[in-house]
Structure 1
Amino acid sequence: MTTTDKPRQRIASEYTSSAVKTGELMPESPTKSKTHAFSFGDPEPVLGSQISDYLGIFSDTNGLWYLPPVSLAGLAKTMYANGTHASVLEFKQNQLLASFKDNPMISRKEIRLAFKDFEVFDNAYFLAIRNHLGGINRYVRLPAVNVRVGTDSNFFLLNSDGSFQEYYGTEIIHLNGGDIRQSIYGVPTYFSGIHSILLGEAATLFRRKYYLNGAHSGYILVTFDLDDEKAEDIEQAITQSKGPGNHRSLYMNMESTISGKPGYTKDRVQLIPVGDFGNRDEYDKIKEVTQQDILNMHRVPAGLASIMANNAAGHGDLKNVREVYYDCETIPKQAIWQELNERLPARAKIGFNEPRWLTVQNEGA
């Protein structure tokens, strides 16, 4: 025994003797707890592909083209991740398509796809199709998700098999929505709201898993001190009831005894619900908030986006809302597309008609 152990032993003996004198009991040695806790389910990242990380502009490892600052494939996936986001993108595309003037060199199909590219990726590309004499017959849209800006005033179209096609810069017209951090690729304005888009998707997926898991309904039916014959009758009645198996339920017949002694139960039949709808309001609140965030970042009024009003007043006069939206959003977006006219030949200039409702108003005046 070391010298340092003696004081500890003396203190312990003193404590014991004093406790006996005063009638206090020594603290019992702690017993092993019967309570157990466990966790399940690995954490799932909200952004599996980290599409919201701004990477900057760098050339690819081959040195032929610049990599986009954000994942274009990730931006495309967000369109299918949230119904409100996809609907608003379609609405903004249709606003341009409704007033687009027929163009002899750009078909409506090509411009429709280009409108969608620009709304999703903030980039649109047109390839000049030339005749044998070198003149331009028409322009076709190249899918923005697969186009890369080259490092030598050229462009590349990436194929699914890993190959690519190179085009001279004079053959491609690139509509770039712009980004304050670089000038090679456009970055959509809704990029700042991707977290809201994915949060809305996560809430929907959580609710689906909640229902598919069967936790939303079901019960535990407990009876006490029934003989086997009566318990089997109850079990058979539950099994043959309407819709068996639709919800996960459990029937138990138990003896009301505790440690071999007669116990006490308030009710001989107990129905214990398993499902809990308490979280439903949280789901609805998340969906409501994320939906409003998406509409705000796209600057689209809820009434024009076919969102049902939550109050009796509704969304107001939609005709006035439509006119304000046209002046504040559609006309500026048309001006962006008309920037292409600097490179388009005279007969391929992009133009837009006045909307039908505005034409009727002018004629009436």
Structure 2
Amino acid sequence: MTDSATVAAPQAMEAFTFGDPEAVLDRRELFDYFECNLIHNEWYEMPVSADGLSRMLRAGVHHASAIQFKAQVLASTFKPHPMLSRSTMLKVCKDYLVFANAYLEQPRNVLGSGMQLTHSLAKYTRRHRDLQRFGFMPKWNEVHTFRRGSICHIMDPDVDQEVYGVPQYLASLQSSLLNESATLFRRRYYTNGSHAGFILYMTDPSPNQADVDSLRAALKSSKGIGNFRNLFFHSPKGEKDGIKLIPIGEATAKDEFLNIKNVSRDDQLAAHRVPPELIGVVPGNAAGFGNVVNAARVFARNEIQPLQTHLAAAINDFAGEEICRFDTYRLPGVDEPLAQELK
């Protein structure tokens, strides 16, 4: 469409599309590896792409929130030890919950005595083919080999191989991607809505070119700040259907946006076994989620306590002494009076 008063020749119809927002994770990148392949015929690669898992952490808000919530609860109940700090434990918990693998290194001083355990990023730590040594590989051609016996490997066992752990939430990744896709679709809808919300189809012969130009200018000026304006058009001898407004999309697009968001959210929380009321999910009914205190207690017993036991057993077995201990997960001001009554 041009702004000139006359058109020399009919113009061909033109259609175009808007560029799509890029998803955090593409369709196939997550499952690049279905087995533990050897890098340089020496180091085992993880069965699931570590880069894909780390990027998935930013794909879904409920996926990231559940992992961060459990990591913070575990770190807050951890009892610091001279050989293991709370900040290091938080890093271990996040790695374990994201990758199902976590690594601690015990460096030695000049006398050969063990020093405080340090954290090694699970995203770049790999196991040697002899399953005894470990290496740090930030790039495929850069390897730092750790001293034999200096790495504590904490893993969530897999049923298909015993080299690395595999996250239990893999079954919910499609729901995370669906949740992200629904958000991107709705964002694209609102972004593009200000560019092409309708088609103004005019067949009324009464208006002249000056009237058409005035109408075009009025429509152009309605965009931007204050764009929700009424438009008056007067055509004394106009026909009944001389002007038609054909919407391209409705403001309430029937894409089941809310249902998709809610169902995919429930799948993610079910995979992480986190009650929705504990991570700020707003109930969709008047009754709510029920007693949040009882939900927190069940969550502490069924999810937090097994994680504490598993982490402590792996670290203490490696250290040869009890350096990893956890307090019982209690609700301040709620569980203390109950504990006193039970004594």
Q: 1:304 and 1:236, CA in 2 relative to 1: closer, same or farther beyond 3 A?
A: same
Among 56, 75, 96, the residue aligned to 2:74: 96
Change (3 A) 1:334 1:165: same
Summarize the alignment of residues 1-365 of structure 1 with structure 2, pairs less than 5 Å apart.
47-52=26-31, 55-60=34-39, 62-152=40-130, 153-160=132-139, 162-214=141-193, 218-223=197-202, 224=204, 225-241=206-222, 243=224, 265-339=239-313, 340-346=315-321, 349-357=323-331, 358-365=335-342
Q: In the alignment, which residue of structure 1 is the partner of 2:10?
A: none
Judge which range, 333-342 or 275-284, deviates more: 275-284
Contact kept in structure 1, 2:300 and 2:329, CA below 8 Å: no
SS of 2:66 mapped into structure 1: helix
Aligned residue type for 1:174: H
1:33 corresponding residue in structure 2: none
Distance across 2 between alignment mates of 1:302 and 1:230: 58
Q: Describe the shift of the 1:83–1:236 C-alpha distance in structure 2 as closer, same or farther (beyond 3 A).
A: same
* Counterpart amino acid of residue 304 in structure 1: L
Moved more, 73-82 or 101-110: 101-110
Equivalent position SS for 2:193 = coil
Alignment partners' CA distance in 2, 1:169 and 1:207 = 52
Count of residue pairs brought into register by the alignment: 318
Secondary structure of residue in 2 paired with 1:141: strand
1:131-158: per-residue Cα shift (whole Å, max 9, x none)? 1111112000100000001113100101
SS in 1 for 2:244: strand
Question: Match of 2:141, SS?
Answer: coil
- TM-score scaled by length of structure 1: 0.77
1:227 positional shift: 2.5
Give the SS at the match of 1:323: helix
Q: Following TM superposition, by how much is the alpha carbon of 1:298 offset from its aligned partner in structure 2, in angstroms? A: 0.9
Contact in 2 for aligned 1:123/1:144 (Cα 8 Å): yes
Which letter does structure 2 place at the counterpart of 1:103?
H
Aligned-residue offset at 1:228: 3.2
> Given the superposition, is the C-alpha separation of residues 150 and 288 from structure 1 closer, same or farther in structure 2, using an over 3 Å criterion?
same
Output the CA distance in 1 between the equivalents of 2:162 and 2:269. 27
After TM superposition, the structure 1 stretch with the greater mean CA deviation from structure 2, 51-60 or 125-134, is: 51-60
Secondary structure class of the residue paired with 2:79: coil
Query: Structure 2: where are the runs of 5+ without partners?
Result: 1-12
CA distance in 1, matches of 2:195, 2:250: 6
Could you say which structure has the larger radius of gyration?
A: 1
Alignment-mate amino acid for residue 35 of structure 2: G
* Structure 2 CA distance for partners of 1:244 and 1:341, relative to 1, 3 Å: closer
The code of the aligned residue for 1:337 comes to L
C-alpha distance in 1 between matches for 2:28 and 2:221: 48
Residues 49 and 74 of structure 1 are in contact (CA less than 8 Å); yes or no, is this contact kept in structure 2?
no
Q: Output the amino acid matched with 1:311.
A: N
Contact (CA 8 Å) 2:77, 2:327: kept in 1 or not? yes
Q: For the residues of structure 2 that align with 1:243 and 1:150, how far apart are their CA atoms?
A: 60
Residue-by-residue CA offset, 1:52-85 (whole Å, 9 max, x unaligned): 466122322x122111111111111110111110
Whichever residue aligns with residue 195 of structure 1, its letter is Q
- In structure 1, distance between residues paired with 2:94 and 2:226: 46
Equivalent residue, structure 1, for 2:5: none
Give the letter aligned to residue 309 of structure 2.
A
Letter in 1 for 2:317: E
Tell me, yes or no, if the aligned pair for 1:81 and 1:201 is still in contact at 8 Å. yes
**8 Å contact from structure 2 (residues 43, 128) kept in 1:** yes
Deviation of the 1:342 alpha carbon: 1.1
Q: Which amino acid aligns with 2:265?
A: Q
| Matched-pair contact (CA < 8 Å) for 2:95–2:122 | yes
Structure 1 residues 111 and 222: alpha-carbon distance in aligned structure 2, compared to 1, 3 A threshold: same
How far is the alpha carbon of 1:39 from its aligned partner? 11
> Which residues of structure 1 form unaligned runs of 5+?
1-35, 257-263
